[in-house]
Structures are given as structure tokens and as C-alpha cells.
Structure 1
Amino acid sequence: MQIAGIITEYNPLHSGHVHLMEQVRRRLGPECGVICVMSGDFVQRGDFALVGKYARAEAAVRCGADLVIELGLPWAVSSAERFADGGVQTLLATGVVTHLAFGSECGDAGALMHVAQVLESGEFSRRLRARLCDGVSFAAARQAAAAELTADAALLGQPNNVLGIEYCRSILRHGAELTVLTLPREGAPHDGALAEGTHPSASAIRALVEERKEEQALSWMAPAMAQAYRQEAAAGRAPVLGQRCERAILARLRTMTEAEYAALDEGREGLYRRLYEAGHTAATVEQVLETAKTKRYAYARLRRMVLWAYLGLTPGDCPPAPPYLRPLAANGTGKRLLAQMRSCAQVPVLTRAGAVRGMSARAQALFALESRAADLYSLAYPDLRAAQGGRAWRDGPVLL
């Protein structure tokens, strides 16, 4: 049986995401299984997910996925490179996935793999260091350095291509036997505006929610996602918006030492000093970001650093590989895959939270971070009466 893995956020899930799953089964056959590795309560752009992970995972299964496994927190809220590597390693750890499927602007797996091979070369690393000395952003330096080595460097100018290239780099690094299946992305571009007759972008849907145009937003979600959203909203748990925790985030930033800021700066480039000054003077999170930002540093990187500060994370908290697999939702096929994984997965399958106490120290440390993050996420619920702590220890996968 062929099993396709999809690395995703579903924040929120819409017709474009459903289309990808449908196309995967067209390519690989209707009996193909689909395992999604999905970000949990926090997402890669350094923000709170609009709806909690179990609700999004259930919607994914109702829309075509067979099994949804959580992408561990340290990978979910990291750079594209680490996000991709965490997702690939999670799929590999299942022991059952045969294909990695994703959408890209180019739809050409060979071209994406070629660029990945260039980026993995020692010559590229040398040229990248030289370009970074020019003071440009990392993305600009990367594309310029790659252009000196391949005519396909222009692929690095489009976000879904970039993520696809990072997936390919991870496959190369781990010597993985995963077949890459990329399909041309259809509909609105990443962060693009909504347009009738085409697949939406998740960011445009989130913008409608933030503008309190909830019914419009729901009309663009996949029906199962809209239903999950309504159920969470009725329970006081949606929409989850980071600005509800703004005072808590600012309090954390104002009480951190310079050394604590320095621990967030993976590149050791001095960015933490700008963030330290802004964190102790700005009156809003947006002011913190605007004050610290320069043309060299991506806005998303700063957002992630602020989120890591709020969650009490540091780069050192990211294990070299996922120490367990945490299922979030499954249907009948997914349950059979879980049973298979119990004998062939590279790491334990964690369906009951209490079982983590019998796992490795690394697994217990990661789960403790996940539990704390879940408690901090719930503080952004519309109704604080729904924000009881300790849910990570009580919640289990949704079985359909």
C-alpha cells in the first residue's frame, strides 16, 4: 500500500488543501493512504493557530486524510528549514510513508530536488557566506548565491517552492527513500487576496476573522473546517487570536534578561540586542516588531523569537529528531496504520499522554514543553472559562 505524507498547518483548512489530497489519490490510486503531519496550536509564522489542533485534525480527516500526527512544537514554530526537517523526520519515523506530497508554484519535483542539491553543496555554503557579508537579507543572499551555481535559482523566489526545496534538502540529508510528488499550486498565491472561483489562501481567511467578518471567513473554509470552527466557537475556544495575550507577551518581554534574549538568537548576529531594547520600551507587540526590524531580518523571524519568548522556548529545546509520534485524529484506515506503526515506527506512538512517563528523558522534556504551550495557548480563547490548564494530559486523538 502506498502512503503519502503531507506536511501542513491547515490554519484553516480550505478547498486548496482538499484538492491536494484528492490529486494525490488520483496520482497514487484511490487506495492510497494519506498521513498528515500538522502543526499543533502554534504555527510557523510565529502566531497562534486560529483553531485548536484537535479540531483542525478532525476536519482534516473528514476532508480526506486518514491519520493526522502532530508536528512537535519546536519544529512547528521554527524557520522553513527546521519546519521542513521536522516534518520529514516525523514522516520517516512512522516507518510506513512512501511518498512526500506537497504543492509548489513550479510543480516540478526534479527542479526542486536539483536546487536542493545545490544548496547542500559546500560551494554554495562558501558563496552564501560571501553574500551575507553584503548586509542583505538571508533570502536575498541565498537566491543570489544559488544563481551563481544554477539557472533554477529563481525557484527560491516563491514561498511554496522554497518549502518544497527544504523538504528535498531534508530527504537528501537523511538519505530517505521517499518519492517526491509535487503538484502545481492552484488558486490564490501565498498571502494572496480572495477571488471567486479559485482556491483561497489561508492568510486571507484569517484576515477576515481578524476583521470580524466571520461568516465570510467560514464560507471560504472547507465545510468540515467551518463546522469544527463553529463547534469550537460555541465552546468559547475560537477564534484564537494572539492579541488576546498581548499583555502577557509584553510582560514576558519586559522581564527577560539580555542573556535570555541572546538565547533566542540562533544566528548569533546581534539581532537579540535590537529585540531586547524594543521589548523593554515598546507598548505593543507590533511596536516591538517594528522597532527591532531591519531590511536584513525577516519579519517572521522576529515574530517567532517573540513567540519563543512567550512560550519559554530556546533553540536548545529542539531535539535532533522527534522522540515520539503524537496522533491527533484518525479514521478506520488511520487506525490500521497506527496499529502497523506500533511494530515498525522508529519511535514510540503516544496515544495516551500518561505513557510518556515511561519514555526517554528527551520525550518527557518535549511533552512538558508541549503541555506548557497548550496551557498558554488556551489563554487566548475568547472565553477564559474554557481555558482550564492541563489539557495536554487529558486530551487524546479523535477517532472517527
Structure 2
Amino acid sequence: MQIAGIIIEYNPMHRGHRYLLEQTRALLGADTAVIGVMSGNFVQRGDFALVRKHARARAAVESGMDLVLELPLPWAVASAERFADGGVQVLLGTGLVTELVFGSECGDASALQRIAGALLRPEMDGLIRRELDKGDSFAAARQRALGALLPAEEAALLEDPNNTLGIEYCKALRRRNSAVRPMTVARKGMHHSGRDPGEGPAPATLIREALRRGERDWALSEMTPAMRAVYEAEEAAGRAPVFRENCERAVLARLRSMRESDFAALDEGREGLWHRLYAAARTAVSVEEALEAAKTKRYAYARLSRMILWGYLGLTPVDFPAEVPYLRVLAANETGRSLLGRMRKNAAVPVLTKPADARLLPEAARGLFEWEARATDLYTLAYPDLTVAHGGAEWREGPVIL
């Protein structure tokens, strides 16, 4: 039996995500087991997940995933490179995965691997720095630098977000000298600006935007049936939809209480970006206003969003661990339970099947779980119904077993 890994957010899970699952089994065999590594309550673009993690994990398993493991917070809310490395670490940590499957715009794993190899060449850092000196964004500078080593048509693949993330997966596997094989499926679906259902599955961004505008029926129609049922149950319980603006005053209060040195600690690149964000946070009356005031051609919106989220959650990038210290189970079906049995023998790090297991971890790993617990308490403040936003949920809720 093949065991495939997919790194996911499912924010929310939609028809395109289900297509990738179906294609994984079509390519590898109907009996292929699939392990998902999923972001928790906060996602890579520096935002709150639409629905809490255990509910999304349930929808994933009910939609065809066998086992869902959590991507810990310091990797889930990081750059694409760190996000990908964290997901790869979790998959490799199981000791079981043979293929890493992901969607991409190009559908060409060989091309993405060539780009990954070029980006890891020693001379690439110097080429990128030379392009950055021209004042453009990192993404644009990296693409131009890559053009010095590869044909322009391959360098252009970096313009598409799913290609870029796939390249980061390939880089992470190479860095860790892994025998896991990267496989990609050509992404199907409308562009982020599209709305014609005939164009294919809508991306998660459009579904979230539709919910913000009150276009609930259309948004629900684009989710998988299991995700739709989970969303409706969470909505009825007062726990969905979760948007950052639901607790915007709490976020702004945290930002305004931070000192200049606190903002400086959020700036991984040490490029002075924190000055702009600090100044914006002093006067902005919404998070969006702060982001618009701080953003420039060089600094991506997502990077600023992550910095604001780190500030809200009390995270400091310099303290982020380098290695994932445990594997936490969010959901599993019968096949997933069988995989867990094998993981207990093969896993490179401890496997947590209940919150109490975290109390037995070494100090640094236990500290990471406590970070997750505090972040979840802050996440619940964005529930539409604050009467259900009780603290301590992380220590009470075990995996969804189906």
C-alpha cells in the first residue's frame, strides 16, 4: 500500500481539494492511504482560519483523508519556505510517507524540481541580493535571479502561488535528502478574480470573501459536502465564520500596547519594515488600515499580516524552533488508526493522540504545545458568539476519530 502525504489548510475545503485527493488515488492506486498535514487555527497568510482546526480536520477525513496531523503554529504562520519545511518535517516524521502530492498551476513536477535545485545553488543568494538592490519585492527579485540559471519560461513558473509552494516542498525534500517522491497534479479551478462556476472549483479565497459579503448559499455550494455540513454545525454553535475583524479591537489593542523593540523583534529580515508597521499601528483604526499604510512595492501584504498576527499572539520569530518536536493527531478514520499503530514504531518524534500527552514531552516541546494553547484561547475571541469562547479548549479537545 502506498502512503501519500498532502500539506493542507482547507480554509475551507472545496471541490478542488477533493479533486486532488481523488487524483492522488487515481495515480497511486485506490488503496492508497493519505496523510494530511494541516494548519491549525491560524493560516500561512497571517490570518484566522475560517473554522477551527478540529472541525476542518473532521471534514478532511469525511472527504477522503485517512489521517490529519497538525502543522504546529510556528510553521503554519510563516513564509512559504518555512511553511513547506514544517509540513515536510511532519510527513517525514511519520516514517511512513512515500509520496508528497500537491497541486500546481503547471502540473510538471520535473520542472518544479529543476527550479528547486537551481534555487539551492550557492550562487543564488548573491544573485537575489543583486536584484533586491534594485528596490523590487523579494518574489520579483528571486524570479529575475532564477532567470540567470534557467530558461525564462521556467523562471516564470514562480509567478503562480501553487507552483511556488510546490517548489518549496521540493526544496525541503532536497535539503533533508529525502527519498520521498514529489508528485504534482495540475490545478483545476477559476482564477481568484473569476466567479463563473463553469470555470471550475472556486478557490478558498473567493469562498471566504463570499461569506464576508453574505453570499452564504454560493459559498456553501463550493465546499465539499462534509465541509459544508461541518461549517453549518459550527455556525449553529456560534463558532463560525471566524474572521480577524471579529476581534479587531483586541488585535489593535495589542499592537498599540507594543513598544518599538517589540515590533523590531517581528522583523525577520531586519530591513526596517517594522518602523512602518509601528507607525501605522499607532494611528490606524482597523487592521486593514494599518496594513495599507505599511505596505510597499517591496514588502508583501502577507508578510505584514504575519507580523501583525505574531504580535497579537505574542510570538517572536527568533524563538521559533528549527525542528518539529512532536506529531499531533487531529482526526483519523479506521485506516488512519492503523497508520497510527505503525507510527508508534516508526515515528521520529513523539505522537500525541490526546492533549494530556503534551505534559510528558521534554520542556521545549511542551512549551510549543503551551504556545498552541494560548493561541487557541486568542482565536476563540473571534467566534461570532463570545459566550462559547471559553479558554483552555486546547487541553480538553482530543482528535476526531471516525
Instruction: Please classify the TM superposition score into its range, dividing by the shorter chain length.
Output: over 0.9
Q: Give 1:43's aligned residue.
A: 43
- Looking at structure 2, the residues matched to 249 and 181 of structure 1 have their Cα atoms a distance apart, in angstroms, of 39
- Looking at structure 1, the residues matched to 193 and 103 of structure 2 have their Cα atoms a distance apart, in angstroms, of 15
Q: Give 1:363's aligned residue.
A: 365
Q: CA deviation at 1:316?
A: 2.2
Q: CA deviation at 1:241?
A: 1.0
Q: Give 2:330's aligned residue.
A: 328
Q: Give 2:195's aligned residue.
A: 194
- Looking at structure 2, the residues matched to 320 and 174 of structure 1 have their Cα atoms a distance apart, in angstroms, of 13
Instruction: Say yes or no: does 1:140 pair with 2:140.
Output: yes
Among 166, 169, 172, the residue aligned to 1:167? 169
Among 273, 285, 297, the residue aligned to 1:271? 273
User: What is the letter of the counterpart of residue 201 of structure 1?
Assistant: P
Instruction: Say yes or no: does 1:108 pair with 2:108.
Output: yes
CA contact (8 A) 1:193 1:201 kept: no
User: What is the letter of the counterpart of residue 31 of structure 1?
Assistant: D
CA contact (8 A) 1:3 1:98 kept: yes
Deviation track 1:296-352 (CA, whole Å, cap 9, x = no partner) reads 000110011001100111112321111110111100000000111011000000111
Which ranges in structure 1 are unaligned for 5 or more consecutive residues? none
- How many residues align? The count is 399
Identity of aligned residues (%): 58
- Looking at structure 2, the residues matched to 194 and 103 of structure 1 have their Cα atoms a distance apart, in angstroms, of 21
Q: Give 1:292's aligned residue.
A: 294
User: What is the letter of the counterpart of residue 23 of structure 1?
Assistant: Q
User: What is the letter of the counterpart of residue 155 of structure 2?
Assistant: A
Alignment of 1:201-350 (within 5 A): 201-350=203-352
Question: What TM-score does the superposition give when structure 2 sets the normalisation length?
Answer: 0.98
- Looking at structure 2, the residues matched to 398 and 355 of structure 1 have their Cα atoms a distance apart, in angstroms, of 16
Runs of 4+ in 1 over 4 A off after TM superposition: none
- Looking at structure 1, the residues matched to 146 and 377 of structure 2 have their Cα atoms a distance apart, in angstroms, of 42
- Looking at structure 2, the residues matched to 118 and 192 of structure 1 have their Cα atoms a distance apart, in angstroms, of 32
CA contact (8 A) 1:105 1:184 kept: yes
Deviation track 1:185-222 (CA, whole Å, cap 9, x = no partner) reads 11123x34232231111111001111111122111111
Deviation track 1:57-111 (CA, whole Å, cap 9, x = no partner) reads 1001011100001111111111111111100111000110000000101111111
User: What is the letter of the counterpart of residue 381 of structure 2?
Assistant: L
Q: Give 1:87's aligned residue.
A: 87
Q: Give 1:8's aligned residue.
A: 8
User: What is the letter of the counterpart of residue 269 of structure 1?
Assistant: E
Q: CA deviation at 1:360?
A: 1.2
User: What is the letter of the counterpart of residue 48 of structure 1?
Assistant: F
SS at match of 2:145: helix
User: What is the letter of the counterpart of residue 123 of structure 1?
Assistant: E
Deviation track 1:270-293 (CA, whole Å, cap 9, x = no partner) reads 000111111112111111111111
- Looking at structure 1, the residues matched to 162 and 193 of structure 2 have their Cα atoms a distance apart, in angstroms, of 13
- Looking at structure 2, the residues matched to 314 and 164 of structure 1 have their Cα atoms a distance apart, in angstroms, of 27
SS at match of 2:327: coil
Query: Which deviates the most, 366-375 or 351-360?
Result: 351-360
CA contact (8 A) 1:74 1:317 kept: no
Which ranges in structure 2 are unaligned for 5 or more consecutive residues? none
Q: CA deviation at 1:183?
A: 0.7
- Looking at structure 2, the residues matched to 192 and 31 of structure 1 have their Cα atoms a distance apart, in angstroms, of 37
RMSD: 0.8
User: What is the letter of the counterpart of residue 194 of structure 1?
Assistant: R
